[in-house]
């Protein structure tokens, strides 16, 4: 792939955007793990912890990129990513009180790395799919998005809270990535290659299905919450 081509640039933008959309939990983990440390030590914990998390993330993505070469795993990854996109829409109020605050620099760094690795499966699969199995895109995308997550996470989270439609854009991008992964599965790719209209229809159906399912779930949750408040009044 030409690293100076428009295709590479668009794929990189897609990777960075997905990284940012799925990084809210990771930003919260970083803050919770370092919250008990002195201000100066907090900076070191965030820097070292994030650095370790990035290395783990790159290693995990390399493994996933390799696994996606195995027959049917590209399909499985696409299906899992559809679920991740749906969860992105409906799980906007998760709390992470179970994240223990480190009392020392080492404890905080360890907590950040371990928690990020445990929670980072969605990021790894999504980025591997968005990068279309190009490791260079994965590494560059992480190098761009991680500083934004560490130093600009609060601003980005506020932006999402102020403009909720950004979440739906992110879910649509994930839906496109998931459907693209599925259509690229070696065993079924010929069907989509022979019928381009079917591929476009399938991708559109996946995106619309995710957005509609997420919207309906959020509306039901809002109605249930509203009914609960009225019952207590």
Mean residue pLDDT of the chain comes to: 79
134 secondary structure, DSSP code: -
Question: What is the tens place of the pLDDT at every residue in 123-169?
Answer: 788 888 888 778 888 888 877 777 666 665 556 656 767 888 888 98
Question: What is the tens place of the pLDDT at every residue in 76-116?
Answer: 888 988 998 898 888 655 554 445 555 677 877 777 777 66
Range of the domain at 158: 6-232
Give the span between the Cα atoms of 16 and 26, in whole angstroms. Answer: 15
DSSP secondary structure string, 159-206?
HHHH-THHHHHHHHHHHHHHHHHHHT-TTTHHHHHH-HHHHHHHHHHH
Q: What was the pLDDT predicted at 97?
A: 47
Does any domain span residue 46? yes
Question: What is the tens place of the pLDDT at every residue in 193-233?
Answer: 999 999 999 999 999 999 999 999 989 988 887 776 655 55
Cβ-proximal residues to 77 (8 Å cutoff; 6+ apart), any chain:
64, 68, 125, 128, 129, 181
Give the span between the Cα atoms of 167 and 98, in whole angstroms. Answer: 25
* CA 7 and chain centroid, separation: 21
Does any domain span residue 36? yes
Does any domain span residue 186? yes
* Lowest-confidence region among 63-67, 178-182, 210-214: 63-67
Does any domain span residue 148? yes
Distances (CA, A) of 19 to 13, 128, 223: 10, 11, 31
Verdict on whether the full-model pTM lies above 0.85: no
Does any domain span residue 1? no
Structure tokens at 34: 């370092």
Q: Enumerate the H helices of 34-164 as residue ranges.
A: 39-67, 73-90, 105-119, 121-130, 135-162
Is 29:112 a contact under the CB 8 Å cutoff? yes
Does any domain span residue 191? yes
Does any domain span residue 49? yes
Is 16:108 a contact under the CB 8 Å cutoff? no
Domain count, the chain: 1
Does any domain span residue 218? yes
């Amino acid at each position: 792939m030409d690293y100076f081509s428009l295709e590479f640039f668009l794929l990189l933008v897609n990777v960075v955007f997905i990284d940012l959309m799925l990084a809210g939990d990771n930003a919260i983990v970083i803050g919770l793990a370092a919250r008990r440390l002195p201000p100066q030590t907090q900076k070191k914990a965030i820097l070292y912890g994030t650095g370790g998390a990035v290395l783990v993330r790159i290693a995990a993505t390399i493994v996933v990129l390799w696994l996606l070469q195995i027959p049917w795993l590209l399909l499985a990854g696409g299906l899992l990513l559809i679920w991740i996109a749906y969860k992105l829409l409906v799980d906007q109020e998760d709390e992470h009180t179970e994240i223990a605050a480190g009392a020392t620099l080492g404890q905080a760094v360890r907590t950040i790395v371990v928690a990020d690795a445990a929670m980072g499966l969605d990021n790894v699969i999504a980025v591997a799919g968005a990068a279309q199995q190009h490791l260079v895109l994965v590494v560059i995308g992480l190098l761009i998005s991680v500083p934004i997550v560490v130093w600009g996470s609060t601003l980005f989270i506020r932006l999402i809270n102020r403009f909720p439609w950004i979440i739906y854009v992110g879910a649509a991008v994930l839906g496109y990535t998931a459907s693209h992964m599925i259509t690229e599965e070696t065993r079924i790719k010929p069907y989509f290659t022979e019928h381009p209209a079917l591929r476009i229809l399938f991708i559109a159906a996946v995106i619309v299905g995710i957005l509609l399912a997420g919207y309906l779930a959020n509306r039901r949750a809002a109605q249930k919450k509203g009914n609960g408040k009225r019952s207590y009044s």
